Amino acid sequence: MSLQDAIARAISQATGQHFQIDDRRGVDGGCINRAETLQSGNRRYFVKYNDAVRLAMFEAESDGLIEIAASKSVRVPQPVCSGAHGGQAYLVLEYIEINRGTGKADPQGRGSVAGGTTPGMGEVGQRREQLPRMPGATDELLGRQLAAMHRSTRDRFGWHRDNTIGSTRQINTQEEDWVTFYREHRLRFQLDLADENGYGGNLIRRGEQLLEKLPVFFARYQPLPSLLHGDLWGGNHAALPDGTPVIFDPAVYYGDREADIAMTELFGGYGPGFYAAYNEAWPLDPDYRVRRDLYNLYQVLNHLNLFGSGYRRQAEQLVDRLLGEL
């Protein structure tokens, strides 16, 4: 049995409707996954592929989409099924026709559920100018919906399972204390990985100093364990043809909502209406601007570990700036 035949059978079992592939079209799956659309009659699905050892990554993504959908806040693609066959893992998702700020629907559905579209080497500065912005009304609605999603909370930080950020393992061991969670399972994990990857020296030495001082950034601020998208750069949101916002490719966990907002600012792609609407729905703490660098340090370290030394200087600058705040 071919991989596509196995997927067609899995779709049939998951939906209770026979699915026989009439058409296959390759689409952009980003720098982590491969992707295509599969169609049977008027039914179409978006399918991501990776090596079979990555099946847990797809299963965690599916769980994350279900978690966000359960918050009844913002639109996400619905997972259909996942599995592995012939050395390949797959994740089947609802096909969503979207636009990316051009005013025209994307007939390939590229952005709707494209997997692993993490900005690559050297793009941190460039993406801010290149990412299209959604229409103002969509931006504002997304701001309100994200605030509503963040109001979905739990009693501990983390999640019931680990997942991935890009292709890097993201540890979600649950903790009652946010400082402990963020220090051990976010910054220390990435710093240790950077050290293993040969980026030792000043970055690691100064990074360890920052870890020791981390409680200072939370002396007057106690975050709630909010439901987070976890990877909310501008490439992971779009709009339906009617302007309804949609988000995808999550790295879900429960944490400080400021981490999601900080990620939206790292690469751009969000307009002023988004931030105004979010703050109207749930105002950010006055000291958010300081912690923004703290949260984006995690993302930049991950880019260093994924894409190489082009991110080392930016990581060092963030650490130095944060230590300068103390």
pLDDT in tens, 250-285: 999 999 999 999 999 998 889 999 999 999 999 999
Between 114 and 294, the higher pLDDT residue: 294
> In the 8-state DSSP scheme, what is residue 53?
G
Domains and CATH numbers, the chain: 3-113 (3.30.200.20), 124-324 (3.90.1200.10)
Question: Which pLDDT does position 205 carry in this prediction?
Answer: 97
User: What percent of the chain is predicted at pLDDT more than 90?
Assistant: 84
Question: Which pLDDT does position 311 carry in this prediction?
Answer: 96
Residue type, 100: R
Is residue 119 pLDDT above 80, yes or no? no
- In this prediction, residues 40-62 reach a mean pLDDT of 97
- In this prediction, residues 287-291 reach a mean pLDDT of 95
Query: Among this protein's residues, is 249 annotated catalytic?
Result: no
pLDDT in tens, 18-37: 999 999 999 887 788 999 99
Strand partners, 238: 246
CA separation for the pair 9, 23 (Å, rounded): 15
pLDDT in tens, 141-174: 999 999 999 999 999 999 999 999 999 999 999 9
Q: List phi, psi (to 5°) of 131.
A: -70, 125
101 band by pLDDT with thresholds 50, 70 and 90 = low
Between 119 and 235, the higher pLDDT residue: 235
- In this prediction, residues 69-81 reach a mean pLDDT of 98
What's the whole-model pTM score?
Answer: 0.91
Lowest mean pLDDT, pick from 73-77, 111-115, 317-321: 111-115
SS3 45: strand
Mean pLDDT score of the chain: 90
Is residue 108 pLDDT above 80, yes or no? no
CA separation for the pair 167, 171 (Å, rounded): 12
109 band by pLDDT with thresholds 50, 70 and 90 = very low
Question: Which pLDDT does position 129 carry in this prediction?
Answer: 42
Question: Which pLDDT does position 31 carry in this prediction?
Answer: 80
Question: Which pLDDT does position 112 carry in this prediction?
Answer: 42
- Tokens found for residue 312: 């080392």
SS3 108: coil
Lowest mean pLDDT, pick from 91-95, 107-111, 155-159, 216-220: 107-111
Catalytic residue among 28, 162, 195, 231: 231
In the 3-class helix/strand/coil scheme, how is 145-205 assigned residue by residue? HHHHHHCCECCCEECCCCEEECCEEECCCCECCHHHHHHHHHHHHHHHHHHHCCCCCHHHH
Under 8 Å between Cβ of 63 and 69:
no
